[in-house]
Amino acid sequence: MAVADVERLQGFPLRAVVEAAIRHGSVDVEHHQTDALQQCARQLLRHGALLPWRPARRGARYGILATVTGPRPPARHHPAGLLGTAVAILYVFLWASAFVPSRILARAAPPLTILWIRFFLAGGALFVGAWLAGLRIPGDRGTWLRLLLLGTGGNALYLGLNYEALRHLSAGMGSIVASTNPLLLALLAPWLLREPLTLHKTVGLLLGFSGVVLAMHTRALTQEARPVDVLISAVGVLAFVFSNILYKRWRRRPHPVVLNAAQLLLAGAVLLPAALLIEGRPRVEWTFPVLASLAFLIVVLSIGASMLWFWILQHGEASRVSAYFFLTPVFGLLLGAVMLGEPLAPLDAVALVVIATGLWLTTRGGS
């Protein structure tokens, strides 16, 4: 079985692992500390493409042996694959759609106050669901410290700074800045995750950031893309990237529902004193747009999209989300125009193509 054939089994980034296995006869999958690669190994073992072996490294659960056990079956397009693609695109769409209600809330209510309310309600609902389902709640201090760091970076700082930026930044521009998180992750991965910066990723980085600058240029004479707001949003995205790196390097994680509930509750606990200190006593005018936006973010995004993501992970479709992530700025810009009446410039089409190409090159990997 050729390396390229193995890589196409489920679309996972297996090339480096399989090449190492072929060179050395075996490879410890867990040594890579990468969820996608561990999922790849499970898929390969399930398909009978590679044989399991007992790794010598103490504490590792399994490895893969580069031994061909049979020919690769012909590729088939079945309903599950089509369903996986549809769910992945739906998830990307939901992720991009968050910027419309977020901008409504950021301009109509104190942003930090509305965020801690959202985090407590969503986290509390998920926590009750986890408890009713009998999921294990971690009791050790180290796990809760990691959950606190994840909640602070991936929710409190990321959304707190983005909500502050969205008071002026357009929803479309906010989604464009937020969509650069795979670019920032690819930029930091060689040092923090030991993932190589390949030629594809380098070109993707240059194109992606160039597209962001072009989108900013088309709004240079408006208040919708002020450099200070873009910078605030970018710092929030950087905090989100660091939380993703921490997540990737964390081997023994709690159940995803427990993890999501805990980090939301902890993010709310972090933002509550900050909101009281900066914004004072909570004062929110509960108009219909505010209530509808908050309900959408809690029910559809914090709970619904999370459950959708767990389904994606369970069915081995996570790579499809990366494959379609380049649609995020497209969805965000179009939703901002349709839902909020944000103007579109002719150069936006060029900027979107440049950004989408950059994201596609960055997330596809390769050399």
Q: List pLDDT tens digits, range 55-90.
A: 434 444 444 443 333 333 444 444 456 787 788 889
Contact 224, 344 (CB under 8 A): no
Task: Please tell me the predicted confidence (pLDDT) of residue 191.
Answer: 80
Task: Please tell me the predicted confidence (pLDDT) of residue 4.
Answer: 38
For the ranges 111-115, 203-207, 302-306, 355-359, the maximum mean pLDDT occurs at 111-115
Give the up-direction half-sphere exposure of residue 180: CA atoms within 13 A in the CB hemisphere. Answer: 27
Q: How far is CA 358 from CA 13, 48, 107, 179, 212, in A?
A: 18, 35, 31, 11, 10
pLDDT at 128 over 80: yes
Strand partners, 63: 53
**CA angle (9 as vertex; 6, 10 as ends), nearest 5:** 130
Cα–Cα distance for residue pair 326/356, rounded to 1 Å: 4
Task: Please tell me the predicted confidence (pLDDT) of residue 347.
Answer: 85
Q: Whole-prediction pTM value?
A: 0.69
Task: Please tell me the predicted confidence (pLDDT) of residue 271.
Answer: 96
Find the largest Cα–Cα distance for the chain. 67
Token duo for residue 214? 């072009």
pLDDT at 207 over 80: yes
Q: Name residue 360's amino acid.
A: W
In 3-state terms, what secondary structure has residue 51? strand
In the block, which residue shows the tokens 């072009």?
Answer: 214
Q: Which residues contact 342 (CB under 8 A, 6 or more apart)?
A: 170, 171, 172, 224, 333, 336
Handedness of CA 53, 251, 188, 325 (dihedral sign): positive
Cα–Cα distance for residue pair 17/350, rounded to 1 Å: 37
pLDDT at 47 over 90: no
Strand order in the sheet with 51-53: 26-27, 63-65, 51-53
Phi, psi values for residue 197, rounded to 5°: -90, 95
Contact 322, 200 (CB under 8 A): no
pLDDT at 315 over 60: yes
Task: Please tell me the predicted confidence (pLDDT) of residue 45.
Answer: 55
User: What is the per-residue pLDDT across 97-123, written as a single tens digit (0 to 9) for each?
Assistant: 998 999 999 888 899 999 999 999 999
Q: Name residue 196's amino acid.
A: P
Contact 308, 69 (CB under 8 A): no
pLDDT at 2 over 50: no
For the segment 15-32, the average pLDDT, to the nearest whole number, is 48
In 3-state terms, what secondary structure has residue 61? coil
Q: Which residues contact 228 (CB under 8 A, 6 or more apart)?
A: none
DSSP state, residue 25 = S
